[in-house]
Amino acid sequence: MQIHVVEEGQTLASIAETYGTTPEAINKANELPDPNKLATGQAMVIPIVGSYYWGKQGDTLYTIGQRNQISAAELARVNGISPYKPLQVGQKLYIPPRPRRAADFNAYVEPRRTVPPAMEADVRTAAPHLTYLAPFSFRIKRDGTLQRPNLNNFPAIAKENQVLLMMVVTNLEKGQFSTELGALILNDQELQNKLLDNILATARELGMGDIHFDLEALPTTGAEAYANFLRKARDRIHAAGLMMSVALAPKTSAEQAGKWYSAHDYKAIGALADFVVIMTYEWGYSGGPPMAVSPIGPVRRVLQYAITEIPAEKILMGQNLYGYDWTLPYERGTTAKALSPQAAIALAAQHNAVIRYDYRAQAPFFTYTDDQGKQHQVWFEDARSIQAKFNLVKQLGLRGVSYWKLGLPFPQNWLLIEENFRVRKRA
């Protein structure tokens, strides 16, 4: 599998010729919004076995091999060249496919009152590449009962694809995480028992395989109480033959304070849960200034701290499937519009914008002027940015990746999962 960045003047036909494939194959793999109008700077996945590399100044077989997990001798053998002869600038080398390791993949899906056909189609597309599917969410009510999400055909899709259904339990009220509701849950043993009764009964009824607690904005003094609740929950959930996982805010130290962080004790929760999802996204958010949603530097710092408190094999790295379109100049109080990677590419092509890549953040972005003369900046995800995250998962030995959220098409992501990993199926 090759990642190719479109240069000015290139067409599908010319790109296909470079890699010995067809325009139709590239179009199908990338689900191009308009195959006749490519955006300069657009990253595409080329569906070939292995990849090609063109030599640059200073390259050696050793340095190229190190970057691609292959010895210089094997690289020379595969390409039929001498291992002792210097490489030429522009020399074409074939890189064989890299070994794949097993990993878990989860994706949240957030149905509203109805499930649009496009959302269901995206779930069907993603399911072969998933270990877990997480309908968001089962909302805790103050009497210990649960308000269910619209599950539509999700259980059937999960079963067809050997995907474990994840029951996401939240303290959401009126669209916001409720500190008050969180305090009630943590401090009332009778309410906890009733809640766990209802969770387990619902899980049995719906065929859920994992109970996933996503309790956020908890009281800042609630770390011990939350761990105690999770210990009680784990004992009952395991006795029922189910798994328990927990969503965690992105922290870089145990002392990090605030309503989103204080109650999430990485060490205590990591010891109790079968696995955790660390929500490593939203540095760039709809109400903030333009920037990458999940820049790799901050993501790496969170995960490097996390693996000092939680076994790496229990950690799913959170990853966004969306970007944002900000109107410039940014003004506090305004909100950016969320969009999928596919929509971002179409927008760049529509406005003849050049997509650039921030190597420090490992994220693509572009600017354009709309029909009203207003300037915009768009940050999103592409094949390069997701490959950088997959490399991080492998470097740190993590369990895998958890996506927020389906319904935002990103076809290159699913292809690159299969290129990099063997997806575990636990259902």
* Active-site residue set: 216
Distance, in Å, from the CA atom of 260 to the CA atom of 302, rounded to the nearest integer, reads: 14
Q: How far is CA 262 from CA 233, 248, 338, 401, in A?
A: 20, 11, 29, 24
Query: Quick one: DSSP state of residue 128?
Result: G
State the first-to-last Cα distance of the chain, in angstroms, to the nearest integer: 28
User: Does residue 51 have a cis peptide bond before it, meaning omega lies within 30 degrees of 0?
Assistant: no
Q: What tokens does 214 get?
A: 């996503």
Backbone angles phi, psi at 176, to 5 degrees: -130, 150
DSSP for 256-269, written as a single string: --STTTTT--HHHH
**Cβ–Cβ under 8 Å, residues 272 and 227:** yes
Q: What tokens does 262 get?
A: 């204080």
Q: Where are the alpha helices (DSSP H) in 68-168?
A: 72-79, 117-126, 154-160
Distance, in Å, from the CA atom of 166 to the CA atom of 133, rounded to the nearest integer, reads: 6
- Ramachandran quadrant class, 353 (left: phi over 0; alpha: psi -120 to 50; beta: rest): beta
**Cβ–Cβ under 8 Å, residues 222 and 186:** yes
